[in-house]
Structure 1
Amino acid sequence: MAAAAEGVVPTLAIRSSVAVELWSSGGSKLPYEHKPNLPREETKNSRSICFSPDGRYFAFSNGLVVKVLEAGKDQNGTWPIQCQLPRPKAFYLKFSPRGNYLCTWEHYAITKDRPEGAPNLLVYDVATGNEVFAIVQKNQTDWEPSWSSDESIFAMVVGGEALFYDLGPDAIKGFASTTRTIGGSRGGMLSLGPGHCPPFLAFYTPGAKGAPSMCKLYKYPALGQNQTVACKSFFQADRVEMLWNKRGTGLLLLTSTEVDKTGASYYGNQAVHFMATKGDTCSVPLSKEGPVHSVKWSPKANEFVVVYGYMPSKAALYNLKCDVVFDFGEGPRNCAYFNPFGNLIVLAGFGNLPGAVEVWDVSKREKLANLKCADTTFFEWHPNGEWFVTATTAPRLRISNGFKVYHYSGALLHETMWPTGQELLGIEWQQYPDNTFTEPKITKAKHEGIKSSQPEASKKAYTPPHLRLLKEGKNPEKYLPQPSIPGLTLTTGGGAGGANNKSKNKQQKRNRRDVVNNVNNGGGVAASDAAPPTGEDQSLQQQQQQQQAAPFNKSRQQQYHQARQHQTENAADQQQQQRNHNHHQQQHPQANGQNISEKDRKIRSVAKKLSDIKKLKARQGQGETLELNQLNKIEMEARYLDELKALKLSA
């Protein structure tokens, strides 16, 4: 087990539909549970929980205020309130890198008193609880401001322009005015790299009017146009995700488009690009077509993994030269998670995939465990690098909510399922500074675990009933009713069916029952009255059954073939009628009222998209958390309005 400082036991923060609470354990032998010394507050309106990166503070919203608690110094310590912030509508919470500031974001709203809208992104000093910065930030995605690792620089993008604030010794004055800016266009993004002080930074500018999108690296405070450290241009990028390695020396850009204009992909186009602070840039080679599902840096900062391609997807490990150093092969996966030390990686298929989880030893390039974590909506490694937690949370899934803690060998260490009528909304492990835990030694030894209370899905393939009887050596016709053929009435002695379907069905059942009883009972003798056949009697009885059943079987075969021939002829007639109908529609489209111009089709399509956006915004206004693709769709509203206006004005 990974060694740790004396008394360090990470707590687990839990947000549910009834409370916010902290759970803890006494180590690997005891389950996680709520202990009397740990905080618990009953609330049905909590929307966010958050630990500071160093684990000193824990913040949560309760629908009235945002509370910031100071972590207990030991396992028996208390968690006193550090400060309370008057933000009843806080939707997201985010600490600065050293935990000295807390940023809150809430939905942007316009009121009669403030038609321009009130600031919805605020920054508070955790030590005093005082507000030090406030601004309007309408975007729900990428709302977080950017910080340098030592918190001396605060930066964010407003209206496409990057604004920088040098905080210095007097942070309050530092937040008052910008010290530097970088001009850009609407949709620009900014990210300060970790590690270095002053930091490297990346600024992304989207392309327009045929020009490519651009990402530039700078070394703060040299932000001139001719002072770029590296530059990478690319087309097909409606959105960019910027991922720094832990040292702040390498940057990965995951670019994506909403729609593939060629129509080849439902997911749009995605690509991965690499930029280094030494000036190197390149595109990451992907050997299989399809979307990029996940891109993650190793905490060692010298490798990264990409999961990509149509299912079954591929996963590959790359070095800083963007060469593939190991191929994990193909499988049903769309996620990758390195443990805090980078010596283990989990490849998993969550969301619409069945939940297969693979645990790999990164240094030895070998698989350690395979397990199934169905319906997983959340995954996180424990700070010790040996355990991980999986959870099923609402609103993604509102049934079977709960969480499980696993050892990397696949052993289940803990399981908690939520009571019926309650929902698990969020879960998060307390973080710690680097070097609190030591890197664990990876072995193939199977860790002892517990048995899950959840029923496992059957691994046996489904076998239809008639095949089950065949496997048992029985005759299916003797135990199962014969399949009915449309339009075919089984009769004995040439009798016909009734005048309607009901009478035909009844007659079929009667005839089938009479014939089967006749065959089974040897010509009308009841089975209960007959003596057990032996020797010659048994042979004679079998011959009688075969002779009596033969006319019926022959008659049924003839009727079956006649019905099949009749069905085939009807199907051919129907196909010919359909072809004639389609040909008529092509020659005379106005006969069906389908003579719609291409312009009208486009107008209807754009109007439908705007109607969907209006519904999404209404749901968002009610406090519902939207998916990423839904948020991106809302951001396209202005473009659709312009397109609709242009279509209506065109001749």
Structure 2
Amino acid sequence: TYLTTFHPQGIALWAGDKYEKVGRFAHKNIKIAVFSPNENYLITLSETEVDAAIIIWDVKTSKMLRAFPAGKATGAKGEVVQGLMTPFKWSADDKYIARRGKDVISVYELPSMKLLEKKSLRADGVHDFFWSPTDAVLAYWAPEGNNVPARVSLVEIPSRREVRQKNLFNVSDCQLHWHPNGTFLCVKVTRHSKSKKTLYTNFELFRVHEALVPVEMLEIKDTIVAFAWEPKGTRFATVHGEGAQRLSVSFYDMDGGNKSTAKEVTLLYTLKDKACSHLYWSPLGNNIVLAGLGEINGQLEFWDANEQQSITVQEHFKCTHVEWDPSGRVVATAVCQPLDNSYYKFTMDNGYTLWSFQGMQLLEEKKDSFYQFLWRPRPRSLLSDAQYADVVKNLKKFEKRFNEMDRLKERERIAAEKAERNRKEQEFQDLLHKRLAVAAARRAEYIALLNGYDSEDDEEYIVQTHTFDDVLSQKEEVMRK
């Protein structure tokens, strides 16, 4: 809905058909601005305002709801320990906003910005947390400490009921990946051996919407380079391997794939020796871009996951960003220059390229000092996930009717084009006859002025034909008898 511009005094919001200014928020030297999922609220962060480094705003009224100081590097129990780059995190429905403290997660209600039940949620050793993209559920993880294993917890808000907890051992690091539909949570766990010299990876996969939230473990022997859920689906893909140039890409299905009736995580297939470091699924699923960024210099492979085949391989040299259009029809790749680095080494290659979802190049633009590329978000679908799945499931039942409707529209289009062509032809004939009549009348007047002489009549002329012989050369030769 809104386009945000940054200024020394604060930020301005622009919206509407003509992108007119609809709001101003005074907060000096803002570095980050983050909207809530439904665009009802806004958070701004400043590096120069000490006591009001973080401000939460009401977007419609431009009213400041509450201000907070910046986080500390360390702190006592309950104090905020995060920095400016990890601000508050919004719940999916805009009802809550939360931030991490030492051994606690503070959850505030909106728009009052009062602490939920006047106390923070206890989360001993919490290292990071994420809201579910669809539900009021928090997932957080805490590392090992004081003979206590590392753990991942799912907590329901506002009841604070812990719906699932999983203890983990020999943990070096964890990364939480929510499925866009909130149906699954993947915890990428990097473990170490007892000697702490060897690292290996496994995935803890939570089925959040099922009874008792069952958890499956998937162990990967290789180093995990990238992980990505398929939107509107049950599949996910990983990039794994030990080398930097030739890695493997594996596709898994949480529902066992088409050939299985059991709901269990199943390896579908693996692609070997791929120049890939990042994965970018289409918002509609199925199509995925296997992108080789960084040292791989921008190789792009457009892959069809259903057909298990490569559509095409392209290249955008020094590519740094890949962005899908929200409709899933177009992919943008870009070479962007950091705002704080005017001597960026890829300045000569700055710009963007647009591709179709099948990998056909649509547009290429070179731009000096090119800093950012963003698609305008689309409104959310009016269909629920269940309705969307039902439509996809029953699509073939309506295919015949849809095809007949398409054929009817095509016949109507052809008939309309033919009628328009006939109308224009008739207009031309009418104009031609009119102009011929005017020309005939003028010719009659012209003949009358010349006393009946018609200069355009061949009968008024005498045609004489003359034949001339030209001797081009003459030569005499004496022939011997």
* Bucket of the pairwise TM-score, normalised by the shorter protein: 0.5 to 0.7
In the TM superposition, what is the alpha-carbon distance from 1:255 to its structure 2 partner?
Answer: 3.7
Q: What's 1:175 paired with?
A: 113
Q: 1:399 aligns with which of 341, 348, 361?
A: 348
Q: Helix, strand or coil for the counterpart of 2:185?
A: strand
Q: What's 1:389 paired with?
A: 332
Compared with structure 1, are the counterparts of its residues 156 and 371 closer, same or farther at alpha carbon in structure 2 (3 Å cutoff)?
same
**TM-score, normalised via structure 1 length:** 0.51
In the TM superposition, what is the alpha-carbon distance from 1:328 to its structure 2 partner?
Answer: 2.9
Tell me if structure 1 keeps the 8 A contact 2:137–2:156: yes
Q: What's 1:129 paired with?
A: 62
In the TM superposition, what is the alpha-carbon distance from 1:108 to its structure 2 partner?
Answer: 7.1
In the TM superposition, what is the alpha-carbon distance from 1:282 to its structure 2 partner?
Answer: 2.6
Q: What's 2:98 paired with?
A: 155
> Counterpart of 2:218 in structure 1: which amino acid?
V
Is residue 68 of structure 1 aligned with residue 13 of structure 2?
yes
Q: 1:85-127: per-residue Cα shift (whole Å, max 9, x none)?
A: 1223211221101011111223377xxxxxxx42322211111
Q: What's 1:190 paired with?
A: 129
> Counterpart of 1:181 in structure 2: which amino acid?
S
Tell me if structure 2 keeps the 8 A contact 1:61–1:88: no
Tell me if structure 2 keeps the 8 A contact 1:355–1:372: yes
> Counterpart of 1:122 in structure 2: which amino acid?
I
Q: Any residues of structure 2 matched to 1:95-494 within 5 Å, and which? A: 95-107=35-47, 117-138=50-71, 139-140=82-83, 143-167=86-110, 171=111, 174-179=112-117, 181-196=120-135, 199-223=136-160, 227-256=161-190, 262-263=196-197, 270-277=201-208, 278=210, 279-286=213-220, 288-290=221-223, 292-311=224-243, 312-320=246-254, 321-395=264-338, 397-419=346-368, 423-435=369-381
Compared with structure 1, are the counterparts of its residues 313 and 190 closer, same or farther at alpha carbon in structure 2 (3 Å cutoff)?
same
Q: Helix, strand or coil for the counterpart of 1:384?
A: coil
Tell me if structure 1 keeps the 8 A contact 2:106–2:115: no
Tell me if structure 1 keeps the 8 A contact 2:151–2:167: yes
Distance 1:137 1:275 in 2: 34
Distance 2:178 2:169 in 1: 21
Compared with structure 1, are the counterparts of its residues 353 and 106 closer, same or farther at alpha carbon in structure 2 (3 Å cutoff)?
farther
**TM-score, normalised via structure 2 length:** 0.68
Compared with structure 1, are the counterparts of its residues 134 and 236 closer, same or farther at alpha carbon in structure 2 (3 Å cutoff)?
farther
Tell me if structure 2 keeps the 8 A contact 1:59–1:67: yes
> Counterpart of 2:367 in structure 1: which amino acid?
W
Identity %: 20
Tell me if structure 2 keeps the 8 A contact 1:240–1:253: yes
Distance 2:84 2:203 in 1: 20
Tell me if structure 2 keeps the 8 A contact 1:97–1:150: yes
In the TM superposition, what is the alpha-carbon distance from 1:269 to its structure 2 partner?
Answer: 5.5
Tell me if structure 1 keeps the 8 A contact 2:352–2:365: yes
> Counterpart of 2:324 in structure 1: which amino acid?
W
Which structure: larger Rg?
2
Compared with structure 1, are the counterparts of its residues 394 and 328 closer, same or farther at alpha carbon in structure 2 (3 Å cutoff)?
same
Distance 2:2 2:92 in 1: 17
Q: Helix, strand or coil for the counterpart of 2:134?
A: coil
Q: 1:217-265: per-residue Cα shift (whole Å, max 9, x none)?
A: 1232332xxx43222222454543322112212111234589997555x
Q: 1:346-379: per-residue Cα shift (whole Å, max 9, x none)?
A: 1111012232211111222221111112201111
Q: What's 1:473 paired with?
A: none
Q: Helix, strand or coil for the counterpart of 1:416?
A: strand
> Counterpart of 1:299 in structure 2: which amino acid?
P
Distance 1:186 1:231 in 2: 14
Compared with structure 1, are the counterparts of its residues 178 and 211 closer, same or farther at alpha carbon in structure 2 (3 Å cutoff)?
same
Of Structure 1 and Structure 2, the greater strand share is in: 2
Tell me if structure 2 keeps the 8 A contact 1:379–1:388: yes
Compared with structure 1, are the counterparts of its residues 259 and 64 closer, same or farther at alpha carbon in structure 2 (3 Å cutoff)?
farther
Compared with structure 1, are the counterparts of its residues 95 and 269 closer, same or farther at alpha carbon in structure 2 (3 Å cutoff)?
farther
Q: Helix, strand or coil for the counterpart of 2:30?
A: coil
Tell me if structure 2 keeps the 8 A contact 1:337–1:347: yes
In the TM superposition, what is the alpha-carbon distance from 1:405 to its structure 2 partner?
Answer: 0.8
In the TM superposition, what is the alpha-carbon distance from 1:152 to its structure 2 partner?
Answer: 1.6
> Counterpart of 2:99 in structure 1: which amino acid?
M
Compared with structure 1, are the counterparts of its residues 433 and 257 closer, same or farther at alpha carbon in structure 2 (3 Å cutoff)?
farther
Distance 2:194 2:294 in 1: 22
Distance 2:26 2:206 in 1: 41
> Counterpart of 1:304 in structure 2: which amino acid?
F
Compared with structure 1, are the counterparts of its residues 129 and 259 closer, same or farther at alpha carbon in structure 2 (3 Å cutoff)?
farther
In the TM superposition, what is the alpha-carbon distance from 1:294 to its structure 2 partner?
Answer: 1.3
Q: 2:2 aligns with which of 48, 52, 57?
A: 57
Tell me if structure 1 keeps the 8 A contact 2:319–2:333: yes
Compared with structure 1, are the counterparts of its residues 133 and 269 closer, same or farther at alpha carbon in structure 2 (3 Å cutoff)?
farther
Q: Helix, strand or coil for the counterpart of 2:372?
A: strand
Structure 2 spans left out of the alignment, 5+ residues: 72-81, 255-263, 339-343, 396-481
Q: Helix, strand or coil for the counterpart of 1:295?
A: strand
Aligned length: 356
Higher RCO, Cα 8 Å, sep 6+: 1
Tell me if structure 2 keeps the 8 A contact 1:243–1:252: yes
Q: 1:33-60: per-residue Cα shift (whole Å, max 9, x none)?
A: xxxxxxxxxxxxxxxxxxxxxxx11113
Structure 1 spans left out of the alignment, 5+ residues: 1-55, 110-116, 442-651
Distance 1:367 1:436 in 2: 33
Tell me if structure 2 keeps the 8 A contact 1:108–1:136: no
Q: Helix, strand or coil for the counterpart of 2:371?
A: strand
Tell me if structure 2 keeps the 8 A contact 1:230–1:276: no
Compared with structure 1, are the counterparts of its residues 333 and 129 closer, same or farther at alpha carbon in structure 2 (3 Å cutoff)?
same
Q: What's 2:470 paired with?
A: none
Of Structure 1 and Structure 2, the greater helix share is in: 1
Distance 1:177 1:231 in 2: 24
> Counterpart of 1:404 in structure 2: which amino acid?
T
> Counterpart of 2:180 in structure 1: which amino acid?
K
